[in-house]
Amino acid sequence: MGIKGSSTCQVFFNDCKVPVENLLGEREGGFKIALNILNVGRVKLAGAAIGGSKRVIDASIQYANERNQFGRPIAKYGAIRHKLAEQAIKTYASNAAIYRCSQNIDDAINDCVASGMDKESATLEGIRQFAAEAAILKVHGSEVLDYVVDEGVQIYGGMGYSAEAPMERAYRDARINRIFEGTNEINRMLIVDTLLKKAMKGELDLMTPAQNVAKEIIKRDLPLFGICLGHQVIALSQGISTYKMHNGHRGINHPVKNLLTGKGEITSQNHGFAINREETEANPDIEITHVHLNDQTVAGIRMKNKNCFSVQYHPEASPGPNDSMYLFDEFIQNIKNN
């Protein structure tokens, strides 16, 4: 379809022995290196997309000045000027972001080296710290290029659809950027997942603002229902710590017991952190309402004198016969009462 200047093929290494002195890193550490290669590739892809966008903008401006309609260049018309301006605005934003991210990565690597880390390890760590930004750049850069090229075709009009003009090739070549180096759909999920992991590790302070919002809602006694991370935010806002679990709870059919009714629920779960049970039991304002039957971790809490409760699992995705629907009924009733 496009990028026909690139010879893409498969390479197989069958029973290939690698001498110890040729290893790029420590044994069994290749996956980490591969992930960092993807991060670097995403930043570079964004840079390539910027180059493509600039070239398309140049061609669009040139054509708009050369193409006359109704006695003057189409570049004089507001509709065309708007398209050219939007092309430039989006490309500039992507361009500025990649310069900033690249500098941040360089600074992080230099800081790691200054702290005593060897160059190779420092490079891996510096790039790792900006995995989310690399994914953001990849998504934004590739979609900006798609926008710029699409508008370039529009500016060219009928000629934009012809193989005789440069926009036809640009349109085909641009499309691959939303697919390789991880599809944009995967990168969007990666961005959220990476940011949340950094927040839970204390590397990125997303939790303090979230806790402040929870505190304010609880203080005003407004209805509040926390699910999964929201459950942890409510606990943290009340001085209860969280901890990283050994394996976490992933998937469907997790058994949970409602301590208020004595009934069991079949739940969906997807979390790697849990709230501290001892601290929860010691808090006079909070009551444990649910526990996970596999490991007795806290699966639900409620505040004794507030319209606030939460669960660690996902009642909106329960695999059972609507075992957890009553939670939404309770929340809706709290809203009506309030």
Positions annotated as catalytic residues are 181
CA distances from 37 to 8, 27, 230, 243, 322 (A): 18, 17, 33, 30, 44
- Give backbone dihedrals phi and psi of 245, rounded to 5 degrees, phi first: -80, 160
Q: Which residue has the tokens 């004198």?
A: 305
3-class secondary-structure state, position 259: coil
Q: Supply 83's token pair.
A: 């398209």
Burial call 196-223: b when 16+ CB within 10 Å, e when fewer: bbbbbeeeeeebeebbeebeebbeeeeb
Instruction: For strands 264-275 and 286-292, give the pairing.
Output: unpaired
- Distance, in Å, from the CA atom of 39 to the CA atom of 52, rounded to the nearest integer, reads 20
